[in-house]
Amino acid sequence: MNLVTRKYMFYKLLFFIYIFFCCKSITAQTAIDSSCITSTEIKQVRGTSLTGIVSDGSSIILAYGFYNCNPVLLNDIVAYKYGGSKIPLIKIVKALPGDTFHVLLKDNYYYIEVNKKTVTYSDGAIYKLPQKEYAMLKMYEDSYHSVIPPSAYLILGNRTGTTDSGRFGLISKNDILGKALKVISR
Q: Is 74 helix (H, G, I), strand (E, B) or coil?
A: coil
Neighbours of 7 (CB within 10 A): 10
CA-closest candidate to residue 119, choices 106, 132, 136: 106
Query: CA 115, 116, 119, 120 torsion: positive or negative?
Result: negative
pLDDT at position 85 is: 85
pLDDT at position 182 is: 78
The number of helix segments (H) and strand segments (E) in the chain equals 3, 12
CA-closest candidate to residue 59, choices 14, 9, 22, 10: 22
pLDDT at position 2 is: 62
Q: Per-domain residue ranges for the chain? A: 3-184
The angle formed by the CA atoms of residues 172, 173 and 174, to the nearest 5 degrees, is: 85
pLDDT at position 83 is: 86
C-alpha radius of gyration, the chain, whole number: 18
Domain 3-184 belongs in CATH node 2.10.109.10? yes
**Over its length of 186 residues, how does the chain's per-residue pLDDT go in tens digits?**
665 555 555 545 445 555 454 444 454 555 778 899 999 999 999 999 999 999 898 999 999 999 999 999 999 999 999 987 888 999 999 999 999 999 999 888 899 999 999 999 999 999 999 888 899 999 999 999 999 999 999 999 998 889 999 999 999 999 999 999 877 876
Distance CA 109, CA 105 (A): 6
Buried b (16+ CB within 10 A) or exposed e, 11-29: eeeeeeeebeeebeebbee
